Amino acid sequence: MNKRYIATPSRTKEILQKYRFTFKKSLGQNFLIDVNILKNIINHAGIDESSGTIEIGPGIGALTEQLAIHSEKVVAFEIDGRLLPILQDTLSDYENIRIIHEDILKADVHSVIDENFKERQSVHIVANLPYYITTPILMKLLRERLPVDSITVMIQKEVADRMAAEPNSKSYGSLTIAIQYYTEAKVVMTVPKTVFMPQPNVESGILNLVIRKEPPVHVEDEEYFFNLVQGCFAQRRKTLRNNLSSYFKGVLDKEVINEVLESIEIDGTRRGESLNMQEFSILANAFYRIQNNKERMS
């Protein structure tokens, strides 16, 4: 192994000591110290020498370095200003990296892609994401419908399992539906705590999201669909009928809810976790039409 790689325990310690860097818990900073894990992430992401890559939270540059070696160009978003001089130093050998000092949640990623990558270039997002902000970041990237091929992230294993879950499992929920509406999701690897500095309290997983060209189901209104799905999982142990009654309280009475369920042949005694995405889309579209008609008539 090349000892100069950033992702080794000795090199990471050396960099941290040189810059007297202290980890900020509020930013969920856990740096990777295993080159093989990083190469696995890149392999699973489907990156090659002609790819453009976007990284979120490069830290001291461990993954950034490997992305620079294996892809044509890397653009990395770093929110922590203290890391900018460190990255300038650790990544000085690579000319195909651009670091942007910005919060990914506020960034105009469409413009960044236009400015930095060629037209029709294969672009992949890769990141070791802070656990506390995984879902907001992924949902922002997906809802903006960026021209990217895939998103591959190292996240908390439990959350990765929820995003890639199948119906009728404990992990399956509204987050599963939201992620799988936009992507084909797969947990490709489990990562032990020992490959991080400092070690996190939980196990990590590598989640690969291949962006769908079209959603797998037709919905009348996306916002309405996602909100209704959340309502169906509000209390997991309750039946679909009971959760819908709570969700539509003061808007639709129980009789109407029962009529809708009957008309689309979905059993109200089922639980949310037993419905697949197709069934949720039928459910949401039926209620959307009922509410729209009601609003037009009132």
pLDDT value of position 233: 97
pLDDT value of position 131: 83
141 belongs to an annotated ligand binding site: no
Average pLDDT, the chain: 93
Looking at the chain, how many residues does it have? 298
Strand (E) or helix (H) holding 154: strand 150-156
Report the predicted TM-score, pTM, of the whole model to 2 decimal places. 0.93
Residue type for 243, please? N
Q: Is 26 helix (H, G, I), strand (E, B) or coil?
A: helix
Query: Which position has the token pair 């990156």?
Result: 47
Q: Is 37 helix (H, G, I), strand (E, B) or coil?
A: helix
Residue 220 sits at φ, ψ, to 5 deg, of -65, -35
For the sheet with 97-100, list strands across it: 97-100, 73-77, 52-56, 123-128, 150-156, 204-211, 183-191
Cis peptide bond upstream of 198, omega within 30 = yes
30 belongs to an annotated ligand binding site: yes
Low-confidence residues of the chain: pLDDT under 70: 1-3, 25-28, 294-298
pLDDT value of position 296: 54
103 belongs to an annotated ligand binding site: yes
Domains of the chain: 9-211 (3.40.50.150), 222-297 (1.10.8.100)
Q: What is the dihedral of CA 201, 202, 203, 208, to 10 degrees?
A: -120
Task: Kindly report the number of other CB atoms within 10 A of residue 6's CB atom.
Answer: 25
78 belongs to an annotated ligand binding site: yes
Residue 260 sits at φ, ψ, to 5 deg, of -65, -45
138 belongs to an annotated ligand binding site: no
What lies within 8 Å, CB to CB, of 247 at 6+ separation is: 228, 231, 232, 234
pLDDT value of position 1: 42
